[in-house]
Structure 1
């Protein structure tokens, strides 16, 4: 199962210069400030994909959220993903590489490297990942927010980016937080981490 954020990062080809001037720059370098901005918990709001395989996978996701924990020195991001698919919770933890110069995130999966351009709109409480922006037949855009429901203004930013790429809002597949069945597993993981932190603190104190 290709999980929500990874849906946007499959085999992204280099961006061509044919984009409209009104479009965002798909290759803005990633800085420490960029990484800090996308650190924390995010909700998968929706996405639009034209490549059939990705569209099919996106259509299976009923709800999703994840945690990004960037490492500035190693240029990596620890991604912990919780996806509701078929009324079941699927959890995955993986490492994402950061390619700062060309503004991409790279994830290895099943022996392949998958790329996505990181897009940071004006609203710092949202971000997007663009796939195949140069290919009208394959392009895609996924949208994330720090709340399970995005505001009308935030959605408008997403729609503006879609329009710029040549896509329509009618192509968007949305998630539904009411179908989220991962909260119990998230709570369990949180409790386990707290216990591990306490053990680590105790070990340090004894040492």
Structure 2
């Protein structure tokens, strides 16, 4: 909900500073069963970051949805993104995610307006995120090559249970975020999704 990424596997990673007590931020180990579980529709729920470019996007976005589909290669995912930023809905479908099993990371490739996927972009430098272990219907991303704490939550539905939200807030608290630093999407500003042509937003473009 969002610069082109180069696939530089040798790029040294400056891991986001995480308190040693944040043992709950355990990344998923990608394998033949976890990758298919990423496919399909997701809705951005909330995010927090102390990296200034990300903060600007967090403040601007009121709704975001995206979907993963199989790419042309085994460890590649295509992305279709739908985002409302600055009161305009925009659809993009020309970006990809590369999955690296050896270090359980996701790398975004191509231009994206999708908020936390675009947080995988830092002025044209390859950037990575790890998927944190959680419920199969949640997508918690920790972006790992910036020196500021950050975390985003997406889910299979536009709303999540109180328990799932509390789990995410516990991760945020562990990283040192306060409630005032968390930005939430809103279903009141939802953009029409594919198949909703009858209710299309005139600003959709």
Structure 2 partner of 1:174: 184
1:129 aligns to 2:141 (yes or no): yes
Deviations for 1:77-102, whole angstroms, at most 9, x for unmatched residues? 11111001122111122111001121
Alignment of 1:174-193 (within 5 A): 174-183=184-193, 187-188=196-197
Structure 1 partner of 2:150: 140
Structure 2 partner of 1:35: 35
Residues 18 and 89 (structure 1 numbering): CA distance in 2 closer, same or farther, change over 3 Å? closer
RMSD between aligned alpha carbons? 2.8
Q: Which of 120, 140, 150 is equivalent to 2:133?
A: 120
Deviations for 1:149-181, whole angstroms, at most 9, x for unmatched residues? 111011011111112222223211001111113
- Report how far residue 40 of structure 1 moved: 0.9
Task: Give the unaligned 5+ runs of structure 2.
Answer: 6-10, 112-123, 198-205
Task: Give the unaligned 5+ runs of structure 1.
Answer: 189-207
Q: Distance in 1 between matches of 2:172 and 2:70?
A: 27
Contact 1:47–1:140 (8 Å) recurs in 2: yes
Contact 2:105–2:131 (8 Å) recurs in 1: yes
* 3-state SS in 1 of match to 2:173: helix
* 3-state SS in 1 of match to 2:23: coil
Residues 25 and 178 (structure 1 numbering): CA distance in 2 closer, same or farther, change over 3 Å? closer
Q: Distance in 1 between matches of 2:127 and 2:81?
A: 16
Q: TM-score, normalised by structure 2?
A: 0.75
Q: Distance in 1 between matches of 2:100 and 2:45?
A: 25
- Report how far residue 13 of structure 1 moved: 3.1
Residues 130 and 119 (structure 1 numbering): CA distance in 2 closer, same or farther, change over 3 Å? same
* 3-state SS in 2 of match to 1:84: strand
Structure 1 partner of 2:57: 57
* Structure with the higher fraction of residues in helix conformation: 1
- Report how far residue 26 of structure 1 moved: 4.6
Alignment of 1:79-90 (within 5 A): 79-90=79-90
- Report how far residue 53 of structure 1 moved: 1.1
* 3-state SS in 1 of match to 2:24: coil
Residues 147 and 83 (structure 1 numbering): CA distance in 2 closer, same or farther, change over 3 Å? same
